Structure 1
Amino acid sequence: MDKKRIIMVIILLLIVTSGASATAFKFDGTKPLFHGLNKDFSNKGWFSLDSVIVISWNANDTQTPLEPGGAPRIVNLSVTYLTTLSYPLIGKIILYYCIVTHQYVTVTMDLGEIPSWSTASLSTSEIQFPVSQTPSSQIVSLSIAVDEHAPAYRLCAIPIQTEAKTLHGPFGLIPLVNGCTQACTLNCLPGYLPHIIVEPESDHMDVIPGEMSHLYFNIINHGNARTVVRAEIIDSPGNDWNILITDDIILDENGSNFMFLMVTPPFDFSGTDTITASFTPYKSDDMSQYGAPVNVTIAVIFEP
């Protein structure tokens, strides 16, 4: 009788007389990654080997907020697998059999429910690992994106569910390696999207020298958070003009309001000139976050 048959006979006798049950290892993130893996993780395990799965990723990959409506962020998940022995002597026999017969454990991955304003996908949903006491790792890429309506700095939790399938021996009767499950959650945040639309009442003003004329701008907040809009005049005809504009307004998400431009030209003005106003959006509770200014040029006209 060759070695493989001897090993199978031993396994059959032990499992038939003693039974088998599955166990899962819970990873304590406060300890070294494989702390204590030479120990028995369960008092319930009998003669099958046990599976261990650990999922990890670089925390720096999720610290920077995601750009709403921007390109997907790729986070590389490191999936580490190994088998452990519940009973050293019998476990080593099973382990030897799995090694000489090149047995592999199938690990499946899936994502749980995520926010409606986000999308996420895995580069693969199934990977295989050799049965071994030596930890081995594979990289699975997680792609994450948030749309432009994602609320700024609202938690985006992505549940990751991983399962090592039970590995059975010949004819599917003998569990050689018990399966296990591992669940974790990757958290990220959508960033601030500064996006305003500026709609002037008209593209020109008819004025009278020495008298005040006014024109309004309808400002719409299409960003994803409460926004302060600050306005300033960045180009005007000269110092002898009296030009005023509303300093700033606060807009709720999807809100709108008016800003006013007031112009008094000098008495000797005649013809056409231009005034350019600039409107810049800022996150209302963090003015260090702001978007590109929107510049609007208005023609000022007096025809005697």
Structure 2
Amino acid sequence: MDLRQLRQFVVLATELNYRRAAERLNMTQPPLSIAIKRLEEDLGVKLFERDRLGVRLTVPGGVFLDEACRLLENAEIAVQTTRDADRGRIGTLRLCSVPSAAILLLPQILPVFTQRFPSIRIALSSGSTVQILGDLQQGGLDAAFVVPPASKYPEIEYVQMPRQELLLAVPSAHKVAQRRHVKLSDLGDEPLVALAHSDSPGFAGEIMASCQREGFHPKILQESSHALVTLPLVSAGLGMAIVPAALKRVNLDNVTYVELHNSFGAPLFYAMALAYHRKNINPAVRQFIATAREIFSPEQTTSIGA
């Protein structure tokens, strides 16, 4: 017994007429009669009564009709589910993010993505860029928002996201906290709390490059492993910190955010990218990347090599 026989039986049980059933099945009557007879022999029961009045279901035939319809429906669900999995419409997406993207980018992408793909489970976590890229290489993650490092990570691809603005986080009692904006070159020998290069070489590298361009030689007194961890150090009065603008949404006592400009009065930015392993076979990754590209305009998102 196979699905084709079940479909033939269901159509005949619905039509109760061999000619009409054969027409619906795009076949002739003799092969249909043979197929139904073989099905009855396989089951060891009589499914139809045939007489001069026509064709009608037996009691076992009526029971089998219910079961056959259920089997065909489940088979169709299995086929559709398999196709959906192949198209990335169901399954699990293991997603990770650096804190600034978790605050600013994920709230823009996830509502759209989860509405379109409600059957995809999001396993979300946070970490530093170095940790995240290591997990991507080892297959522990499917995709992640990171600050791309200058050095290459084998097999990792990046889709460039919109560049993110930088701000200066200062203790609220500091004189700079009273200003609307400040230039890097105006900071002099102010001590900084910095994100450790070992945890986020891309972010730390961009900060140092910006400082060098502006002739500012920061005196780094404290380092943190996490962007959010810099804020309590600032709150404790241990120094200022150049932080992602997204952190402005984090309200912390004794921390004030000031706009940060270059010598031309323009804001400072850093890079952000959506990273994934080029050999990742999870179809949901393709759907997530496509959603991110759609939300952020083509001018803002570009693919860059590993």
TM-score category, normalised to shorter length: under 0.3
TM-score, normalisation: structure 1: 0.27
Q: Which has the higher strand share?
A: 1
TM-score of the superposed pair, with normalisation by structure 2: 0.27
**Structure with larger Rg:** 1
Higher relative contact order (CA 8 A, sep 6+): 2
